[in-house]
Amino acid sequence: MIIKKASPGLDQRNQLAEILGEAHQVVEYEDGVALADQVGDAHVLLVRDVAIDRDVIDAAPNLRLIQRPGDHLPVVDLDHAKRRGVFVSRFPSKVQGAPARDVAEHAFHLILSLAKESSRANENLRRGVVGLPKTRRVHGLTLGLVGVGNTGSELARLGRAFAMRVVAVKRTRDAALADELGLDWLETFDSLDRLLAESDIVSLHLPMIPDTVDFIGEAELAKMKAGAFLINISRAPMVNRAALLTALQCGHLGGAGLDVFWEEPVPANEPMLELPNVVITPHIAGDTRETERRLAELTADNVNRLARDEAPAWVVGVDVDAGER
């Protein structure tokens, strides 16, 4: 079988090819070539953040499976895939091992990088400056979670381990979850203003849907504590880009930690790259070596299922829905 990487940045250490061996061929994504021109002989398309529309599906007459080696499913024409008899599969967090923990760890890394002023510290080290900058203690700060799904819950546990006061908002109240996570309070989104006003650190853990575009805009940033940090490991469009830049440049926000950006890769002339109170990482929160291997194993299992004329596991609409975490 021919497995085509239909998105850049997938399985960069070629774990899938190693697991599958010579029985199958894994083909790399080609930059600068239209996707529809790359998939003609593919039986399986591996996808990340690239849309798979009907033109791409029709350009692959041998296509049997569109596989997301992860949870978040990009834009896929599910109806057309079904008409063509093409399976679409994604792997829910519960079968991946501990991806939510990986993402939460990265979010906490961003928190610590901001609190300990890693950018300024590295600059001072190169300049020979000793004893500066003065950093901030995380112990006892208030961590506000906007959304309490898998990653939010894991970050709450990490925050509590640092004796942080953790507050949260989500769509519905959940007293049992609040008790389990040791939250100081958990309310609905009606209490977002309260969370913004009380939190030293605000971390976003929402799905990317139309209602969450610009969820944090100029008005919400203005309601945050002076000097507070904003953490986004979800999706960039949840935050208004221009409003965030202004809040950082004027000093109202103490900093921002971002693992997602509005354009990826981040443009070399991006103003936020020049700000010492911003930490940006290249969309790697969930890409630990451990998770990469687990996802390659799950993908290989689905490829081998197809080779045996069996249905793949975790098919959208059968085993899992098409929603996000």
Say if residue 157 is in the same domain as residue 205.
yes
CATH assignment at residue 247 = 3.40.50.720
Q: For 178-208, what is each residue's pLDDT tens digit? A: 999 999 999 999 999 999 999 999 999 998 8
The single residue of 18, 30, 264, 290 carrying the catalytic annotation is 264
pLDDT exceeding 90 applies to what percent of the chain?
86
Judge whether 237 lies within some domain.
yes
Preceding omega of 271 cis (within 30 degrees of 0):
no
Q: Model pTM? A: 0.85
Say if residue 34 is in the same domain as residue 114.
no
Q: What is the pLDDT of residue 189?
A: 97
Judge whether 158 lies within some domain.
yes
Judge whether 185 lies within some domain.
yes
Say if residue 61 is in the same domain as residue 166.
no
Assigned token pair, 265: 């890769």
Q: What is the C-alpha separation between 238 and 189, in angstroms, rounded? A: 15
- Is the pLDDT assigned to residue 325 strictly greater than 80? no
Say if residue 207 is in the same domain as residue 293.
no
Listing from the earlier edge strand, what are the strands of the sheet with 87-90? 25-27, 2-5, 44-46, 65-68, 87-90
Say if residue 152 is in the same domain as residue 67.
no
Nearest-Å Rg of the Cα atoms of the chain is: 21
Average pLDDT over residues 263-276: 95
Average pLDDT over residues 294-308: 96
Q: For 125-145, what is each residue's pLDDT tens digit? A: 999 999 999 999 999 999 999
- Is the pLDDT assigned to residue 246 strictly greater than 70? yes
Assigned token pair, 316: 């959208």
Say if residue 16 is in the same domain as residue 144.
no
Q: What is the pLDDT of residue 72?
A: 79
Q: What is the pLDDT of residue 48?
A: 86
Are the beta carbons of 2 and 42 closer than 8 angstroms?
A: yes
Q: For 233-244, what is each residue's pLDDT tens digit? A: 999 999 999 999
Q: What is the pLDDT of residue 60?
A: 97
Is 109 noted as a catalytic residue in this protein?
Answer: no
Say if residue 150 is in the same domain as residue 201.
yes
Judge whether 316 lies within some domain.
no
Are the beta carbons of 279 and 114 closer than 8 angstroms?
A: yes
Assigned token pair, 240: 């208004």
Say if residue 70 is in the same domain as residue 152.
no
- Is the pLDDT assigned to residue 52 strictly greater than 90? yes
The single residue of 64, 68, 90, 235 carrying the catalytic annotation is 235
Into how many domains does the chain fold? 2
Judge whether 325 lies within some domain.
no
Say if residue 194 is in the same domain as residue 298.
no
Q: What is the pLDDT of residue 21?
A: 94
Say if residue 121 is in the same domain as residue 269.
yes
Is 235 noted as a catalytic residue in this protein?
Answer: yes
Judge whether 43 lies within some domain.
yes
102, burial (CB in 10 Å: exposed 0-12, middle 13-18, buried 19+)? buried
Judge whether 106 lies within some domain.
yes
Query: Could you tell me the residue range of the domain that residue 297 belongs to?
Result: 2-90+289-307
The single residue of 24, 283, 294, 325 carrying the catalytic annotation is 283
Say if residue 18 is in the same domain as residue 56.
yes
Judge whether 244 lies within some domain.
yes
| pLDDT band at residue 324 under the 50/70/90 scheme | very low
Q: What is the pLDDT of residue 128?
A: 97
Mean pLDDT of the chain: 94
Q: What is the pLDDT of residue 95?
A: 85
Q: What is the pLDDT of residue 322?
A: 63
Is 139 noted as a catalytic residue in this protein?
Answer: no
